[in-house]
Structure 1
């Protein structure tokens, strides 16, 4: 019988004792036949080898709420004096191999040496385009941040970075990132996602995947993580349990072909649907334009997002496609006026 190498715990509605799964949703597992059908179809658009980036130099601390796009799912969130990174990847490739795998076409929007002090890192899952051991080792050596991860991912991190400080949880668990009285604490709630995870073919779905809902004195930020749309129930649950985020970081890329990707990655129209479903104050589209993972053209997510926003009569300023190096100050809805 298979044994989970990363996590041992009780069964639940999304863990069968060995593997995690998306309850009531289409399977994300794809065999060799499906993979060959996709790749042999030859439908991948040609991407540019490089796209120019104007890198940002962040302030050491921000009293309010600011998000700066680094690239793909890597975002710097600065809130109430705390600096937090999501799924940081500064490596050239999203791969276990130095010379093989998807190569980035945009430089990071912040040079690694220009990072402010990093206090916490939010990890959504262990796929290589989100969980980059080389970057995590550098961050540990230079900043010693607190890492917040879903179940099982801590074992992967500790194997590579033994002295990493970790807080770990299941869907809906609230993890404290900074203690503080009088409303000055900062925490993340792990939110469900319809996805999957692995590092190798032998460990499929042995570590959990999630989003992160960041609670801060300067406002709330929902880092959605990788997800399909499925029946949409988890997004209704997020809105019911946590309310409307001031800012949402929503994936808009890596979605074609739909027959292969729909169960695991939303497309821009579904991203707009989620934006409306949770009544987000503002959103930035992430997970596009850095690594070519799927068939669509590099700019297709940006263009499809604009079309979807127009169809929904949503002003484009409320949901922007994030470009590396761009920083956005977010005003919480309660402070607008």
Structure 2
């Protein structure tokens, strides 16, 4: 074998090894097949023709002029990443959960305290939000604490099955370290069963269905989004959530585009002491499925019955994974400006920071120096 042939052989072996690592574990990461999901999904009135549907029709991508998303991906550079390291706060967990508080761990992972109960939303502790261990968006800041250091949870709520909201490794760690039920939209439980979460710990709800945990009521509510972990979309439901105790209420928006249906949710379930709403990963090419910061302020007002100054808005779905084309801090710059114009109260925690809604700290603009 000559030198050139030897080099080709080595390179081919390296490429095959890289592909094998990239594909390792893909089937189990993707979760349940359509056949395993269908018996649960088919019970929903919103499931027809093999898919779930939004009340207000939504396109995942708007028609693309000229260059397209591929060129945008190639040319965006480091626009969605900060120039400086993202600071972390030391997570605090009082012995007793508060009336209403939230600890933001990054992206949409939040420890919510409501009337003495603790609910964890969309827990994602993995380095990448992808079925592959070496490909896909990677975390821009460390997780503020290990899963094992979380306080005792009363419920784990998941909004939908996208990788940045439903993470297999984190689910399995929580299944082993906690006793709390996983409360999920209808159909999504099939993924958890594939990952060996005990069936008795899985609660699947459709929109406007509820479950009680002690005196805490968890209600699955509408969102405008889509689902899918592989090539097939919308085989499981997506949702927002109402977390209501005897005296306090929190709304978790999950992942959604803006829809006037939020005003209906406000009239039915609000007003809220706290709203946790997505503000990042928006783009004109997918306006129906990810709200922008100004729409988040409008959503908050809708949920508060038209009172933009009611309750407290904490932004989520930003800063942790680079999933769009806007600058890293742009969602918060725009959010703060829109909130000031509408008189909306906003708190922007750094990852790991706990916000007591009844005693919110003075806002520090920690993001401004990071770029």
What TM-score results when the alignment is normalised by the length of structure 1?
0.87
Greater CA drift, 269-278 or 44-53? 44-53
2:235 to 191, 197, 206: 206
**Partner SS for 2:336:** helix
**Partner SS for 1:265:** coil
Distance 1:6 1:113 in 2: 30
Does the Cα contact within 8 Å between 1:55 and 1:111 map onto a contact in 2? Answer: no
> 1:96, CA displacement in angstroms?
1.0
Does the Cα contact within 8 Å between 1:65 and 1:78 map onto a contact in 2? Answer: yes
Q: Number of aligned residue pairs: give it.
A: 315
* Residues 1:125 and 2:154 are matched in the alignment: no
Match of 2:38 in 1: 7
Greater CA drift, 135-144 or 107-116? 107-116
Match of 2:276 in 1: 249
Match of 1:76 in 2: 111
For 1:119-171, what per-residue CA distance to the aligned partner results, in whole angstroms no more than 9, with x for missing partners? 21000000000000100100110112201000100011111133150111111
2:208 to 172, 176, 179: 172
Distance 1:240 1:252, change over 3 A: same
1:284 to 314, 330, 334: 314
Taking the TM superposition and a 5 Å limit, the aligned residue runs for 1:106-255 are 106-163=141-198, 165-176=201-212, 178-179=213-214, 185-201=215-231, 203-229=232-258, 232-255=259-282
Match of 1:85 in 2: 120
What is the RMSD of the two structures over their aligned residues, measured on CA atoms? 2.4
Taking the TM superposition and a 5 Å limit, the aligned residue runs for 1:20-99 are 20-28=52-60, 37-41=68-72, 42-43=75-76, 45-48=79-82, 50-99=85-134
2:327 to 288, 291, 297: 297
**Partner SS for 1:101:** coil
Does the Cα contact within 8 Å between 1:68 and 1:328 map onto a contact in 2? Answer: yes
Distance 1:286 1:11 in 2: 29
Distance 1:30 1:284 in 2: 28
Does the Cα contact within 8 Å between 2:282 and 2:292 map onto a contact in 1? Answer: yes
> 1:95, CA displacement in angstroms?
1.1
What TM-score results when the alignment is normalised by the length of structure 2?
0.79
Distance 1:267 1:7 in 2: 33
Match of 2:307 in 1: none
- Structure 2 gap ranges (5+): 1-32, 305-309, 360-371
Greater CA drift, 284-293 or 20-29? 20-29
Distance 1:151 1:97 in 2: 25
Distance 2:101 2:343 in 1: 26
Does the Cα contact within 8 Å between 1:61 and 1:83 map onto a contact in 2? Answer: no
Distance 1:81 1:311 in 2: 34
Distance 1:326 1:162 in 2: 29
1:105 to 140, 157, 167: 140
**Partner SS for 1:295:** coil
When Rg is computed on C-alpha atoms for both structures, the one with the higher figure is 2
For 1:279-329, what per-residue CA distance to the aligned partner results, in whole angstroms no more than 9, with x for missing partners? 251110000000001111111111011111122233xxx112332111111
Does the Cα contact within 8 Å between 2:223 and 2:238 map onto a contact in 1? Answer: yes
